[in-house]
Amino acid sequence: ATFQNTKSDPRANYEHVIKHEWGTRTNEGGLLHKGTVGDWKHHLTVEQNERFDRIFQRKMKDFPLKFIWDIMRKRISAKESCRKSTN
């Protein structure tokens, strides 16, 4: 599946979530984006992002995997792992 195909597939493009659950800041663009780090800042307000974080944490609290959302945190975590393995 190409990005363009996925973007136009209503089963994969959940624009209604932003419009009906969060409200949109602008009328342009949809929910499905190319995945650039930090791009959420162009599509969501800080308040919308904080609301998403609260909902996500509540719904995923029992999920066994932990996600790294911040690329800098990932780099720091990787460096710490390297230090531990060399000691």
Q: Where are the domains of the chain?
A: 3-86
Q: 3-state SS string over the chain? A: CCHHHHHHCCCCCCHHHHHHHHCCCCCCCCCCCCCCCCHHHHCCCHHHHHHHHHHHHHHHCCCCCCCCCCHHHHHHHHHHHHHHHHC
Put simply, whether the predicted model's pTM sits higher than 0.75 gets the answer no
Per-residue pLDDT 10s for the chain (87 aa) are: 577 777 676 666 666 555 555 554 445 555 555 677 777 788 788 899 899 889 999 999 999 988 776 666 556 565 666 666 555
